[in-house]
């Protein structure tokens, strides 16, 4: 089923079964906080895919796993004691995305302990940071992962579908666990206004149909796309685009975040205006040279945004977080979407 959008922040917060209300924040690592979280926000119970997690008092030491959970904490002024080393989108090999580096500098904080997750969660490394809470609101952790992590500290898991948490949910759920629900909701509102300002420069975007793919030039017989369980196409919705009809139809029939179709069914994509994909400089030409893919309107018009496959922060920005949304690379991404929308044939 489609995930929630900005207008549903209050509904998400209500579903968390909250007790008390949040005010300010407390440092959880080496950085200086922007504010102090009130103990009055606790106890708090958060419902998620594996049940419920209750935090009886505000966490002083915060660890995060998987993707972007640390960015929610940092955006709210909380520096984790440990977080994953990033590989996707890391252009300088230090395991930290550029907008995270910027925020750490802003907070006067050193880089937290980085967990190596190339072969899964490093439970021992997480335990070594002695966390009071483990944030995993956007993740693909399994029941077994959850149970193992829960032996270390209370775990805040994803609400429903693995890797299906929107940036809005990511912010509110993790913020709630930190005693900062009100601040998190306010941040979502501010970022929503920022997105609207960015996209206002590209009126051609509004109402165009779209699909977010990952194109494999070695196999032109398949066309896969991210379903509406994934934050990437949902961010395109935030920008004013709408899913192509087949994306909506097939997403409703699946709980997976990735769906694959044979290009023998290319007519499924006959209403596609703007296509976003990962690839390289040869991607669009390869698609336009293919007798089936070239029948897609977006491909024929050249209304295709190709994000680099290599470790490029621009590609990471397409999967938004509360920190990346205000980075210049998100503005660049929006401009690429706008330029593609202007190529759509009427």
- For residue 103, the model assigns a pLDDT of 98
Give the H/E segment covering residue 82. strand 82-84
Asked if 27 and 101 sit in the same domain, the reply is yes
Give the residue from 165, 197, 229 where a domain finishes: 197
346 assigned to some structural domain: no
Asked if 28 and 144 sit in the same domain, the reply is yes
Give the residue from 197, 232, 264 where a domain finishes: 197
Asked if 12 and 100 sit in the same domain, the reply is yes
Say which CATH number the domain at 59 has: 3.40.50.1980
Asked if 313 and 224 sit in the same domain, the reply is yes
274 assigned to some structural domain: yes
Distances (CA, A) of 316 to 17, 99, 121, 324, 325: 32, 11, 20, 8, 11
Give average pLDDT by consecutive 10-residue segment, the chain, 346 residues: 35 37 32 51 95 96 97 98 93 94 97 96 98 97 98 97 94 97 98 97 98 86 93 96 97 90 95 96 92 97 92 93 97 98 91
DSSP 25: -
Give the residue from 173, 197, 221 where a domain finishes: 197
| Dist CA 49 CA 42 (whole Å) | 21
pTM: 0.87
- For residue 257, the model assigns a pLDDT of 86
Asked if 222 and 251 sit in the same domain, the reply is yes
1 assigned to some structural domain: no
CA atoms within 13 A on the CB side of 171: 30
| Dist CA 157 CA 131 (whole Å) | 15
- Tokens for 341? 């929308």
DSSP 38: -
Beta-sheet pairing, 258-262 with 222-226: antiparallel
- For residue 38, the model assigns a pLDDT of 60
Asked if 213 and 193 sit in the same domain, the reply is no
Tell me how many domains the chain contains.
Answer: 2
- For residue 5, the model assigns a pLDDT of 34
Burial 283-318 (b: 16+ CB within 10 A, else e): bbebbeebebbeebbbbebebbbbbbeeebbbbbbb
Assign 217 to helix, strand or coil.
coil
CB atoms within 10 A of CB 26: 19
Task: Please list, in sequence order, all residues whose beta carbon lies within 8 angstroms of the beta carbon of residue 308, skipping any fewer than 6 positions away.
Answer: 278, 279, 280, 314, 315
- For residue 215, the model assigns a pLDDT of 82
Task: Give the domain extent around 308.
Answer: 205-341
- For residue 79, the model assigns a pLDDT of 98
Asked if 108 and 220 sit in the same domain, the reply is no
Asked if 219 and 328 sit in the same domain, the reply is yes
Q: What is the secondary structure of 128-194 as a DSSP string?
A: HT--SEEE-SSS---HHHHHHHHTTS-EE--SSSTT---HHHHHHHHHHHTT-HHHHHHHHHHHHHH
């Amino acid at each position: 089923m489609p995930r929630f959008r900005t207008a549903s922040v209050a509904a998400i917060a209500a579903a968390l079964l909250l007790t008390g209300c949040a005010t300010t924040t407390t440092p959880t690592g080496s950085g200086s906080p922007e504010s102090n979280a009130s103990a009055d926000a606790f106890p708090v119970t958060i419902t998620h895919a594996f049940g419920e997690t209750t935090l009886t008092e505000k966490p002083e030491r915060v660890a995060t796993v998987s993707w972007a959970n640390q960015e929610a904490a940092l955006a709210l002024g909380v520096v984790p004691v440990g977080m994953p080393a990033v590989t996707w989108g890391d252009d300088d090999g230090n395991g930290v995305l550029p907008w995270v580096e910027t925020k750490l500098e802003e907070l006067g904080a050193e880089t937290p302990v980085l967990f190596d997750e190339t072969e899964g969660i490093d439970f021992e490394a997480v335990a070594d940071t002695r966390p009071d809470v483990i944030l995993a609101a956007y993740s693909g952790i399994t029941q077994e992962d959850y149970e193992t992590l829960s032996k270390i500290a209370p775990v805040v898991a994803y609400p429903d579908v693995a890797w299906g948490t929107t940036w809005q949910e990511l912010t509110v759920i993790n913020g709630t666990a930190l005693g900062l629900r009100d601040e998190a909701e306010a941040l979502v509102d501010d970022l929503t206004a920022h997105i609207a300002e960015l996209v206002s420069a590209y009126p051609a975007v509004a109402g165009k149909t779209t699909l977010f793919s990952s194109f494999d030039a070695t196999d032109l017989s398949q066309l896969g796309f991210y379903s509406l369980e994934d934050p990437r196409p949902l961010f395109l919705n935030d920008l004013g685009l709408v899913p192509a009809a087949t994306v909506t139809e097939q997403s409703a029939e699946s709980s997976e975040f990735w769906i694959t179709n044979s290009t023998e069914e290319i007519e499924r994509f006959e209403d596609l205006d703007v296509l976003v994909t990962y690839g390289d400089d040869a991607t669009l030409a390869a698609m336009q040279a293919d007798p089936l893919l070239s029948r897609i309107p977006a491909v024929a018009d050249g209304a295709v945004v190709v994000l680099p496959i290599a470790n490029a922060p621009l590609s990471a920005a397409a999967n938004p977080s509360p920190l990346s949304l205000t980075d210049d690379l998100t503005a660049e991404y929006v401009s690429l979407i706008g330029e593609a929308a202007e190529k759509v044939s009427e």
